[in-house]
Amino acid sequence: MTKPARLRVSDVVRMALVSSVARFDTNEPALWTERDPEAVHQARIATRRIRSDLRTVHNFVDARWAVQLRGELRALGAELGAVRDIEVLCERLSLHASLLPDSDADAARAAIRRLDADHSVARTDLLRALRHPRYASLHRALHEAVTTPRLTASADALAVDALPGAVRPTWRRLRRAVDQLATVPSDAALHEVRIRAKRCRYAAELSSPVMGRPARDLAIALTRVQDVLGEHQDAVVADAWLAKAAPECSPSEAYALGMLAEIERGLAVHARSGLASAWEAARARRLRAWM
């Protein structure tokens, strides 16, 4: 086994592609045959991670090849995301409905069942996408990427020398997004920080086979930022759905959804309050000294 200090960028790219494509392959059969939330979730993560990794190593891979592959993964990820987002919303609201008094909980569950129709439509769209020739082409492209990724000559550089510079711009974009937050930031601005935190986390994890514990520690700290903002985004999305659904419901259902909305708003406020400490930990100089 090659020692980390001797790994080339090409080795790191191949390892990352092998890992993510294997994750996708493991979960792909259930996308066809079952309504398995975890399979959809894991397949979506795989598509996101490949896209993020190709963005991080863009200087070491063929640009046209990477852009095309990322574009196809983005399209599939959108189909997976439509299913997954409804499942997350339904699970979240159902959990919070269980906190209500029995009569209100029953009314809330009746209203939440409106999501079943949306989920069915999203599942149908996903299956249609999987049956399309475009998906078969993507499937082949993913496995070709594992065996013969289109690398540039610069990918022969030692990863320990090249990867810090590849990760640094991702970190800087995250830091800039945080620095630009208003005193009371908008939901959209916080969501953008979450996206950038996730990309930076993926970049750190990509580097961890070479950079070791420092990269892993940064990834762990960024996971905390991502989780705090993920909770905030989930609460915002849930609150928006509740506001949209309530006027279409019976009075008892609308009242129960109002109670759920109060829960979601409280959780959003709590998540906002947790960002400062999570970011303070993630921005510690010792975590990024390797960059």
Assign residue 134 the CATH number of its domain. Answer: 1.40.20.10
Give the pLDDT confidence of 171-193 residue by residue, as tens digits: 999 999 999 999 999 999 999 99
Instruction: Look at residue 1 and tell me whether its pLDDT is greater than 70.
Output: no
Tell me the sheet residues that pair with 61: 151
Confidence label for 141 from pLDDT (cuts 50, 70 and 90): very high
Average pLDDT over every residue of 98-114? 96
Q: Identify the CA nearest to 223 among candidates 253, 203, 238.
A: 203
Strands (E), the chain: none
Average pLDDT over every residue of 131-135? 97
Would the CA dihedral through 17, 204, 65, 128 be positive or negative? positive
- Phi/psi region, residue 7 (left: phi>0; alpha: psi -120 to 50; beta: rest), is beta
Instruction: Look at residue 85 and tell me whether its pLDDT is greater than 90.
Output: yes
Specify the number of domains making up the chain: 1
Instruction: Look at residue 162 and tell me whether its pLDDT is greater than 80.
Output: yes
End-to-end CA distance of the chain: 25
Structural domain of 34? 4-287
| Whole-number average pLDDT of the chain | 96
Give the pLDDT confidence of 19-59 residue by residue, as tens digits: 999 999 999 999 998 778 899 999 999 999 999 999 999 99
Give the pLDDT confidence of 11-21 residue by residue, as tens digits: 999 999 999 99
Say what the pTM is.
0.93
Give the pLDDT confidence of 207-227 residue by residue, as tens digits: 999 999 999 999 999 999 999
Confidence label for 135 from pLDDT (cuts 50, 70 and 90): very high
